[in-house]
Amino acid sequence: MPHGGEDQVAALYWEAFGRKLAPALGPPEKGRAFIAAHLHHDRGVVALAGDRVTGVAGYRLGGRALTGGGVRDVLSAYGLFRGLPRLAALALFERAPAPDELVMDGIAVDATHRGQGVGSLLLAEIVAVAVHHGCRRVRLDVIDTNPRARALYERHGFTAHRTERTPYLRGLMGFGAVTTMRRPVTTADATDERKAR
C-alpha cells in the first residue's frame, strides 16, 4: 500500500465495516482518523485509479495486520474509561493465522467502482502475496448478511470451513453468524505469481 492514501483507505474501511468497528473505534470521524494513523503499509494491497484509492484488501501475516494500533494507542486516543471497553470490542476481531497461513482481514471497494472486477483483482493479488510469502493457504471470514461477498469468494476458490453463530452480536453489529472460508495456494498460483514478476 503506497504512502499518501491513508485517509482514503480509512474512509473505505469505515464505509464497509463502520457498523462492526463503531463499538470499538467510533464515532466515525475519530474512528477513521485512528485507522488512518495506525495503518501498516506492508500489510495491504490497493487498487488505484490515478491517485485515487478505489479498493483495498488488508491481510494479517506474521502477527501484523493492515490496521494497527495497540493497547497503548487505543488508551491514549480514547482514554482509560472509554478505551478499555473498546479494547474488549477490538479483541473480537483478532484472527491469528495458523503457521503458513495468510488471513485476509478486510476487503472494500469504493461503491462507485463495484461490479467492475476490482474486488477480483484484489483477491488475486492477495493470493499472489500468499505465494510470495510461502503460505500454503489463505483464510478469511464472511458474515451471514453478506452473500454477495461470499459468492465472490466462492468464485475465487474459497470454500466454507466452519460457521460460528454469534447471536450476541446481532443487536450490536447486525450479523448473527461468521463463516470462515479457506483456499489452498496451488502450484498454478505459484506459476502465475512467477509470470507476473
Ligand X SMILES: CC(C)(COP(=O)(O)OP(=O)(O)OC[C@H]1O[C@@H](n2cnc3c(N)ncnc32)[C@H](O)[C@@H]1OP(=O)(O)O)[C@@H](O)C(=O)NCCC(=O)NCCS
Q: How far is the CB of 49 from ligand X (least distance, A)?
A: 12
Beta carbon of residue 84, minimum distance to ligand X (angstroms, whole number): 27
Stretch that binds ligand X, among 24-32, 78-86, 103-111, 186-194 (CB under 6 A): 103-111
Q: Which residue's CB is nearer to ligand X, number 77 or number 109?
A: 109
142 binds ligand X (CB under 6 A): yes
Which DSSP string do the residues of the chain spell out, in sequence order? --TT-HHHHHHHHHHHHHHHHHHHH-SHHHHHHHHHHTB-GGGEEEEEETTEEEEEEEEEBTTB-SB---HHHHHHHH-HHHHHHHHHHHHTT--PPPTTEEEEEEEEE-GGGTTSSHHHHHHHHHHHHHHHTT-SEEEEEEETT-HHHHHHHHHTT-EEEEEEE-GGGHHHHS-SEEEEEEEE--HHHHHHHHHH-
Q: Which one among 115, 162, 171, 197 touches ligand X, defined by CB under 6 A? A: 115
* 22 lies in the site for ligand X, by CB under 6 A: no
Can you tell me which of 146, 157, 178, 182 binds ligand X, judged by CB under 6 A?
146
Examine residue 135 and tell whether it contacts ligand X (CB under 6 A).
Answer: no
Which residue ranges make up the site for ligand X (CB under 6 A)?
Answer: 16, 107-109, 114-120, 142, 146, 148-149, 151-152
